[in-house]
Amino acid sequence: MPMFDEDNITKFKELETPFYYYDLNILRETLDACTNASAKYGFHVHYAMKANFNPKVLDMIQSYGIGADCVSGNEVKAAIEHGFGKENIVFAGVGKSDKEINLALDADIFCFNAESVQELFIINDLAKAKNKSAAIAIRINPNVDAHTHHFITTGLDENKFGINSWQLPDVVDALRKCDSLKFLGIHFHIGSQITDMEVYKNLCTRINEMQDWFADHGFEVKLLNTGGGLGVDYHNPDTNGTADFESYFKVFKDFLNVKPGQEVHFELGRALVAQCSALISRVLYVKNGQKKNFLVLDAGMTELIRPMLYQAYHQIENLSRESESNERGVAANRQSPTVHYDVVGPICESTDCFQKDVEMPESYRGDLIAIRTTGAYGEVMASGYNLRDRVGSVYSE
Ligand SMILES: *Cc1c(COP(=O)(O)O)cnc(C)c1O
């Protein structure tokens, strides 16, 4: 299903750019697909809020009964404000401050995903001071290669996240000493934009080994939290707009050794929200050079930093030229000559480039440009660098 038609392009022409456009139908279709696939196996899904905390997006996700996966105290607060039940909130992060831990204890969240032995003692002390008991899952670094970009890999020994397996004896010592902690189970998160299901199969093997290790040491594992990371198709947002939730959950169904009474949890961010949004921008200037042509947009790394931060690919479309050719009844790009452009932003940094050498219809000042699949890690990473205006949002309904 194409995201844009004459109606919304006409509407965009009246609006100030840049802005994030949210197609709530696409979000709904994605959430339907995810919840239908996970419900088959009784799996619990949490939404990794850091991917997008736009209020309308949060409200819709919450309405599906999905839980919240938070990585800061303010995310815990926002989850509660948007109606996520406290019994459905988990809190991860390598650097939880005392203030954030206290906030989460006061909110009686479901579980802390603890990322170091030292953190266990701190949560224990803070919980004891409040006469509370804190539920804990141990985030284990499984040393599984996510086969994704190394900037977004989190589950290797060299990464800062989680507790390495050779430290687990210290973990059980700590758990025995900390009487204000309640051990629930184990947690993993190995990286993002993972599309190779073999990776998750390998993760299942490690989870099975780890839960046996805990059981052998006298700890009942009630919860297996496999984290998130399921990838989306950045190259075909219209023809392949929904992540492959069916295959994803089925791998865990087939390869995870789930014991009676155990709960299996997931923390999906990108796969739920990436495709529902596009960054809409205008061409400010066209610079034709001897070696290169530049399209200078009114959006830059201050609105979308993924290409600059992770070398990420996003499909770029000229909506004005495509709508013109559609009006003539011919497919885009056929009639009008194409030009290779470096598509850049206005920010005073050479890295402020969305993509080099993009083949596009010949473009002009004022053309509307869509940068696709920007619902995850887009708006949330916007910054005020160069004292730019805060990027706006526009909704399909
Ligand atoms: C970011 C994050 C996720 C979600 O990752 P996606 O790739 O967006 O699915 C899940 N769990 C934790 C602990 C995270 O930090």
Which atom of ligand 1 has the smallest separation from the CA of 191?
A: 7
Same domain, 142 and 236: yes
Question: Which helix (DSSP H) or strand (DSSP E) does residue 283 occupy?
Answer: strand 277-288
How far is residue 180's CA from residue 386's CA, in Å, rounded to a whole number?
47
Same domain, 104 and 82: yes
In this predicted model, what pLDDT tens digit does every residue of 1-21 receive, in sequence order?
689 999 999 999 999 999 999
Position 19 in a domain: no
- For residue 132, count other CB atoms closer than 10 A to its CB: 12
Going from the Cα of 72 to the center of ligand 1, the distance in angstroms, rounded, reads 13
Position 32 in a domain: no
Same domain, 342 and 252: no
Q: In the predicted model, what is the mean pLDDT of residues 283-292?
A: 93
Residue with tokens 């239908």: 36
Range of the domain at 155: 40-268
pLDDT category of residue 329 using cuts at 50, 70 and 90: very low
Residue-by-residue DSSP string for 172-215: HHHHHH-TTEEEEEEE---BSSB--HHHHHHHHHHHHHHHHHHH
Same domain, 289 and 258: no
Going from the Cα of 74 to the center of ligand 1, the distance in angstroms, rounded, reads 17
Residue with tokens 């607060």: 77
Which atom of ligand 1 has the smallest separation from the CA of 269?
A: 8
User: What is the residue with the minimal CA distance to atom 1 of ligand 1?
Assistant: 48
Same domain, 259 and 364: no
Number of domains within the chain: 2
Same domain, 59 and 187: yes
Q: Is residue 125 scored above 80 in pLDDT?
A: yes
Same domain, 358 and 328: yes
Position 60 in a domain: yes
Sign for the pseudo-dihedral over CA of 377, 275, 396, 321: positive
Same domain, 167 and 99: yes
pLDDT category of residue 324 using cuts at 50, 70 and 90: low
Cis bond before residue 2 (omega within 30° of 0): no
Position 172 in a domain: yes
Which atom of ligand 1 has the smallest separation from the CA of 271?
A: 9
Tallying the residues shown for the chain, one arrives at 397
Q: In the prediction, which pLDDT does 330 show?
A: 45
Residue where a domain terminates, one of 206, 236, 268: 268
Same domain, 133 and 256: yes
Same domain, 220 and 325: no
Position 7 in a domain: no
Q: How far does CA 119 lie from the centroid of its chain?
A: 25
Same domain, 252 and 159: yes
Average predicted confidence (pLDDT) for the chain: 94
- Choosing from 44, 50, 75, 248 the residue with most ligand 1 atoms within 8 A of its CB, the one to mutate for a pocket test is 50
| Six token digits for residue 390 | 């805060």
The CATH number given to whatever domain includes residue 227 is: 3.20.20.10
Contacting residues for 254 by C-beta, under 8 A, at least 6 apart: none
The CATH number given to whatever domain includes residue 315 is: 2.40.37.10
Position 22 in a domain: no
Position 73 in a domain: yes
Residue where a domain terminates, one of 214, 245, 268: 268
The pair phi, psi for residue 354, each rounded to 5°, is -75, -40
Q: In the prediction, which pLDDT does 284 show?
A: 98
The pair phi, psi for residue 381, each rounded to 5°, is -100, 5
Going from the Cα of 269 to the center of ligand 1, the distance in angstroms, rounded, reads 6
197-216 vs 168-177: helix crossing angle, rounded to 10? 50
% of the chain residues with pLDDT over 90: 88
Residue where a domain terminates, one of 248, 268, 288: 268
AA letter at 85: G
Same domain, 249 and 279: no
In this predicted model, what pLDDT tens digit does every residue of 206-264 receive, in sequence order?
999 999 999 999 999 999 999 999 999 999 999 999 999 999 999 999 999 999 999 99
Position 145 in a domain: yes
